[in-house]
Amino acid sequence: MKSNNIKKFYRFKKYKKINLKKIIIKIKKKFKIRLTGIEGEQIGITTLKNSIIKSYKLGLDLIKISSNSVPPVYRIINYSKFIYQKNKLLKIQRRKRKVMQTKEIKFRPNTDKGDYIIKLRNLTRFLKKGSKTKISLIFKGREITHKQIGVNMLNNIKNDLKHISNLEFFSTKIEGRQMVMMLSPKK
């Protein structure tokens, strides 16, 4: 049993060497390339055949970096380690990316002073965290006839928050049964 496993192992090694020889034989003409090493140092201009042999002896991979330049640039690196580090950098960049959220707070034209202050406090908290805020003023029943009360309330909110926000959108028209104002945080 053990001897069969050993034979399989040696067959695999021989097979790997044969494949490399086939690859080298396929490259008939002396194709010149610029080769860089593991640390990024310049090895120089060599043939592709020699660079494949060099990378195989080091037990590393030969990767084409730039095919547009003359001669093309190849690099000897550990490819799996290179991919791992690249993916790690992408994850870090995704974590650092800031996602802009839109928070909405609804007011009514007859909102009392205490409720107004609490909703204003929530608006300031959202703006300080960096979220855009949508202020909806909703009319119910006959309140829709007093459009000016709604416009005054939105103007008061805008004036109370002008030190921490920029006005992005303010519509004095009633859309359906509501008026909308958008604020974004100051940078």
Cα separation, 163 vs 133, in Å, equals 15
For residue 4, is pLDDT > 60?
no
Averaged over 161-170, what is the pLDDT? 90
Higher-confidence position of 140 and 27: 140
| C-alpha triplet 71, 75, 79: angle, nearest 5° | 145
124 has a pLDDT exceeding 90: yes
CATH 3.20.20.210 fits 2-79, yes or no: no
Do the two domains 2-79 and 102-185 of this chain adopt the same fold? Answer: no
Name the residue with higher pLDDT: 8 or 96.
Answer: 96
Structure tokens belonging to residue 50: 């020699």
Provide the mean pLDDT of the chain: 81
Tokens of 13: 């090694």
What pLDDT sits at residue 29?
55
Whether the per-residue pLDDT at 133 is higher than 90: the answer is yes
What mean pLDDT do residues 62-83 have? 84
Does residue 47 or residue 12 have the better pLDDT?
47
Q: Is the pTM of this model over 0.75?
A: no
pLDDT at 79: 81
pLDDT at 27: 53
What would the mean pLDDT of 16-29 be, rounded to a whole number? Answer: 47
Q: For residues 51 and 74, is the Cβ–Cβ distance under 8 A?
A: yes
Please give the CATH superfamily to which domain 102-185 belongs.
Translation initiation factor 3 (IF-3), C-terminal domain (3.30.110.10)
CA 82 to chain CA centroid, Å, is: 19
The sign of the dihedral angle between the CA atoms of 167, 169, 174, 176 is negative
Look at residue 31 in the predicted model and tell me its pLDDT. Answer: 79
Report the pLDDT averaged over residues 128-155. 89
Cα separation of 54 and 49, whole Å? 9
The residue among 165, 136, 167, 169 whose CA lies nearest residue 150 is: 136
What's the rounded mean pLDDT across residues 68-81?
85
Q: How far apart are CA 158 and CA 39, in angstroms?
A: 57
Domain chopping of the chain, boundaries: 2-79, 102-185
Q: What is the CA radius of gyration of the chain?
A: 34
